[in-house]
Structure 1
Amino acid sequence: MILDWHFYALAIPAVILLGLAKGGFAGMGALSLPMLTFAIDPVRAAAILLPILIAQDVVGVWAFRRTVDWRVLVWMMPGAMFGIWLGYAFAASVSPLGVMAAVGVISMIFGAYRLWAARHRGAPREAARWPEWVGSLFGIASGFTSQIAHAGQPPFQLWVLPRKLDRDVLIGTTALFFAAINWIKVPAYAALGQFTAANLLTAAVLLPLALVSTVAGVWLVRRIAPERFYTAIYWLMILVGGALIWEALA
């Protein structure tokens, strides 16, 4: 178990953001891994967060298990599996500083994309007219960024949002896609030697806070406008991403 106070000073707000994201403030959780990367190795940080994500996925998948667009999953999942393998190969072949730089780049791209999407209210409409096999390419991108930084939503959304799915179908499809991806990532992180007793115990210590934050997110999202927080979070992602790149290259 990690005992460093510096780690928990970053892990506590990171896990709270992760819980709020699962509770309805979609996108906020993408800041969690970049924050933890300032305290520990990025691959180790991702491995600690993975069991927490899997536990949180259960709620969303169960709640929306009857509203899933299987056609989206059929086209995206094979690509996502390949993308996860690419992410594993990348993490296994480069130094921790290289992974840190990659997390920084993904963080900046994620933040910039969400700011752009908020301003333009959605993804490019042209994507709706692309052939369905293109979804596999977006799946590769989503699997890769999810494996490296638990940030697979932008590629997923670029492909799925133009489908204009019913709200519950969109939520259910998203929940099942990322729940499946998170389970597929388990062997990859095991192969990287990251499921140590210390890491799993640290995840277990943080899990109650994540679950409480998830419930809080469900309660808050029904009472306040999430948009008040999004702009600050996404700009912070860009700044944190830039700081990670600077630290990796310095």
Structure 2
Amino acid sequence: MPFDNWQILAAGLLAGIILGLSKSGIKGIAMLCVAIMAITFSAKASTGILLPMLIGADVLAVTYYRRHVQWPYLIKMMPWMMAGVLIGVWTGNDVSEHIFKQGMSVIILISVVIMFWWDRSNKNLTNNKLIAPVMGLSAGFATMVGNLAGAFSNIYFLAMRLPKDQFIGTAAWLFFIINLFKLPFHIWVWGTITTSSLMTSASLFPGVLIGFFGGVRLVKLIREKRFRQMILLLTAIGAVIILIK
């Protein structure tokens, strides 16, 4: 999709910077990127423009945080998330965008409230067998239909009480694999990735680079406890933005 004016380019680059910040470890703000892209390029078209940018950002993240990945937690969630993606591929076109966004926002907000309660009560959910299936299916469906999986994966990794670097590194590998898994469906089933959309993605990628390397410095300054609180707060704000957009 060619740029018609500088306002569209500026909005796209801003979305790219936010995406880079998110992939650097400042989780929860990616939904703001999704909202900006949907407003700028239309909801469905934006998913095809955003996916190559996500994969590029994933490469940066898995390279930088490669030593911190926790494979057991990733493996628990991965099959469920892939199943959710497949559900999204075949049903996504039939789901009303308005209903989908409202439903996702409400579920995310309820999940955040539950996580706040769990944090205060110090309950241990690491052995809960329902967390991975529920959050995995939800995340897979949400990432295919609207690139909104971050909130569900955040809640899963927070529930597992992963330290900051392990949280970021494991999430990075999870989304790198899932975004590659989504790629063929966007190209051959939905047709949202084309030569034109790839050119747009490439034009916006400098924003991702700026956001990622700036975000890496910010993450180092955030303490572990504040990191959990920040993730929950940003996730809730992102859900509200999607709800009212």
1:10-66 C-alpha deviation (Å, 9 max, x unpaired): 323222211111223211112111222223331211111111111111122123323
Contact 2:62–2:172 (8 Å) recurs in 1: yes
On the 8 A contact 2:55/2:179 being kept in 1, the answer is yes
Q: Report deviation, 1:93.
A: 3.0
Correspondence for 1:58:
59
CA-CA distance at 1:122 after TM superposition: 7.8
The Cα shift of 1:142 comes to 1.2
> In structure 2, do the counterparts of structure 1 residues 124 and 77 end up closer, same or farther at CA, with 3 Å as the change threshold?
farther
| Deviation by residue 1:138-185 (Cα, 9 ceiling, x = unmatched) | 211111111122221332233332323344333221111111111111
Closer, same or farther: CA 231–68 of 1 in aligned 2, 3 Å: closer
CA–CA distance in structure 1, aligned partners of residues 15 and 121 of structure 2: 27
Partner of 1:248: none
Letter in 2 for 1:4: D
One-letter amino acid of the counterpart of residue 220, structure 1: L
Q: How far has the Cα of 1:71 moved from its partner? A: 1.9
CA distance in 1, matches of 2:134, 2:232: 29
Is contact 1:123-1:157 (8 Å) kept? Answer: no
Partner of 1:3: 3
Q: Percent identity?
A: 26
Q: Does the CA contact (< 8 Å) of 2:13 and 2:205 recur in 1?
A: no
Q: What TM-score, normalized by structure 2, do the two folds share?
A: 0.81
1:123, 1:142 → 2: CA distance?
25
2:3 aligned partner, one-letter code: L
Post-superposition CA distance 1:63-87 (Å, at most 9, x none) = 3323332222222111111100111
Query: What does residue 199 of structure 2 align with?
Result: 201
Check if 1:143 corresponds to 2:140. Answer: yes
SS in 1 for 2:125: helix
Q: Indicate the residue corresponding to 2:184 in structure 1.
A: 187
Deviation at 1:134, TM superposition (A): 5.0
TM-score (normalised: structure 1): 0.79
Is this contact kept in 1: 2:16–2:206, CA < 8 A?
no
- Cα distance change, pair 120–136 in 1 and its aligned pair in 2 (3 A): closer
Question: How many residues align structurally?
Answer: 240
Aligned to 1:23: 24
Q: CA deviation at 1:103?
A: 3.4
> How many angstroms does 1:192 deviate by?
0.4
Deviation at 1:119, TM superposition (A): 8.2
Corresponding position of 2:166? 169
SS of match in other structure, 2:20? helix
| Bigger Cα displacement from structure 2, 59-68 vs 175-184 | 59-68
**1:156 aligns to 2:157 (yes or no):** no
- In the TM superposition, what is the alpha-carbon distance from 1:126 to its structure 2 partner? 5.2
Gapped runs of 5+ residues in structure 1? 245-250
1:230 is displaced (CA, Å) by 7.5
Change (3 A) 1:36 1:67: closer
- Contact 2:15–2:207 (CA under 8 A) maintained in structure 1: no
Shift in Å at residue 193 of structure 1?
A: 0.5
